[in-house]
Structures are given as C-alpha cells and as structure tokens.
Structure 1
C-alpha cells in the first residue's frame, strides 16, 4: 500500500539486531535480504507511478515480496529459538 514502509527493519523491529548480524554472517540470509529489498524497491517505484507495468506483474511482485518476507521471518524465528535453548 502506498505510503507504508516494507523495509525489513520496519517490518520486524524486534529483530533489528539479528537482521544486521545475519546479513554480515550468513550468505543465504544476505542473499534473501538483498532479493527482498530489490523486489520491495521495484514495488515502491510502481506504487509511486515511476514505473507502470501491468496489474498482473505488480501483484506477482507483491506475492514474491511476501514469500521472501516469510522466508526471512522463518530464519529469524529459528535463530531466536535456537539461541533461547542455549
């Protein structure tokens, strides 16, 4: 939605430190993070009407962004649970 921030630090404020740590230490996480932000940036350009692709393409991008966010959240939760057990 226009005007809403979908930056991961905004989406998951409770995981800000963990996101920063994983970006630096985990190449798989860093790749997902980069892909998420590339897709998110494209969606934002579309919402600001800087780019005007088809509605189908826009919805496909939004679904991809959601899927990536779900993957990232799963990693964050798994790492948090693993640390809680230590």
Structure 2
C-alpha cells in the first residue's frame, strides 16, 4: 500500500488564498510551510519503504508535522494585525 503526500493546500483548502498570500508576505510562514512540506515528504518516503527509520523516530516526525500544521493554521486564521 502506497502512502500519499499531505500537501498543505489539501489540508487547508479553505485557506488556499491566505496561505499563498502569507507565504509571499511573511518569511516565517513561508519557512514553516516549507518545513511542513519537507517533513511530510520524508514521512511518505519512510512509510513507503524508500527510507528506513525506526518506528519511534517516525512517530516523532509525525508529531513535528502536526505541530507545524497547528502553527500554520493558527497563523492563517488569526485576526489581521494579530
């Protein structure tokens, strides 16, 4: 079974425009989004058997991905000027 990638645009389809605008205007958001995408791609490689990693390390990566996703969601949904 092949595991699929979880791009941010699929995770937050309702925030597509905000994500694009914030990535262009805010280096911090752009870096978090890039970190998320890179981490997600690595998780997919591990889950698909392309890269070896112990289960505990994989779980840590998944927790990091979730933290990044939560941070990005909070930034994208915060009131303007917050």
TM-score (norm 2): 0.90
Unaligned 5+ segments in structure 2 are none
Q: Stretches of 4+ moved more than 6 A in 1?
A: none
Query: What SS does structure 1 have at the residue aligned with 2:64?
Result: helix
Q: Equivalent residues in 2 for 1:32-51 (5 A)?
A: 32-51=32-51
Could you say which residue in structure 2 is the equivalent of 1:54?
54
Could you say which residue in structure 1 is the equivalent of 2:22?
22
Could you say which residue in structure 1 is the equivalent of 2:80?
82
Q: CA RMSD in A?
A: 1.5
- Matches of 2:73 and 2:44, distance apart in 1: 21
Q: CA deviation at 1:3?
A: 3.4
TM-score (norm 1): 0.86
For each residue in 1:27-76, what CA deviation from the matched residue of structure 2 results, as whole angstroms up to 9, or x when unmatched?
01001011111111100101111011100110000000000000000001
- Higher relative contact order at CA 8 Å, sep ≥6: structure 1 or structure 2? 2
- Matches of 2:80 and 2:22, distance apart in 1: 14
Aligned residues: 80
